[in-house]
Amino acid sequence: MIKPLQETSLMEVINKPRRGRPKKSATEGMDTRESLLRAGMSMLTESGFSQSGIDPILKSVGVPKGSFYYYFSSKEAFGLAVLARYRRYFEAKLDGFLLDDAFSPLERLQRFALDAQDGMARHDFKRGCLVGNLEQESSLLSEAFQQALQDTYASWQFRVAICLQEAKKQQLMAENSQIDRLAQVFWMGWEGAVHRARLEKSSQPLSVFIDFYLGAIQRN
């Protein structure tokens, strides 16, 4: 029997379930977007972008496809956002090592390399560098994607160049060392070593590269 209005308590009215899906708060929205980006980072450090679908990512975080397109207008927009997120993450890691004045500049590079070796081994060499993976398929990516990759490398090279410039000032490197070129060579060689490490499922290629690189640039 339906109660007369005067017999219905105020609390019953307030607690009565409402129809429809409740709106998400701004915080919940940010958490969902961040979860998607984190899942995308995991996927792209293990596999390529062009041949990968978004369904496994959505399943891993429990987000329906309709919600995905609320946050990202397209798969490419998502990929660019993942790349930007990875760039921020990795630059924070680089700065943590390369700006640590508790160690000499060249020791900082070596410590970065050792940390990377440990990280790859921890993930059973299934994960590499997201940027290096995308570079491998750059011919299949849009100009916007290619430019974002180049900008990322330029930023990383700048950070290594600062570290090398400090080593040069401390006379750990030859006076005529070409810092910018050596910073570029570092990333060209490093990414190759990361790919070889994944192939061989061994950190040995990373160790060989960093030992060779530091040995080549140090002042005799």
**Residue for token digits 């060989």?**
208
**Confidence band of 25 (pLDDT split at 50, 70, 90):** very low
DSSP 173: B
Quick check: is 14 in a domain? no
Inside any domain, residue 49:
no
What's the domain count of the chain?
A: 1
The amino acid at 53:
G
Give me the count of residues in the chain.
220
The three-state secondary structure class of 218 is strand
Does residue 39 form part of some domain?
Answer: no
The CA distance from 218 to 220, in Å, is 6
Q: Has residue 148 been placed in a domain?
A: yes
- Domain contains 145: yes
Residue 189: CATH number of its domain: 1.10.357.10
Residue 107: CB partners within 8 Å, gap ≥ 6?
Answer: none
Q: Long-range contacts of range 214-219, CB-CB < 8 Å, 24 or more positions apart? A: 214/106, 214/109, 214/110, 217/106, 217/164, 217/167, 217/173, 217/177, 217/182, 218/106, 218/172, 218/173, 219/171, 219/172, 219/173, 219/174
**Euclidean distance between CA atoms 49 and 195, whole angstroms:** 16
The predicted-structure confidence for 149-187, as pLDDT tens digits, reads as follows 999 999 999 999 999 999 999 999 999 999 999 999 999
pLDDT value of residue 30 = 61
- Domain membership flag for residue 156: yes
Structural domain containing residue 148: 83-217
Identify whether 89 is part of a domain. Answer: yes
Is 121 domain-assigned?
yes
pTM over 0.75? The answer is: yes
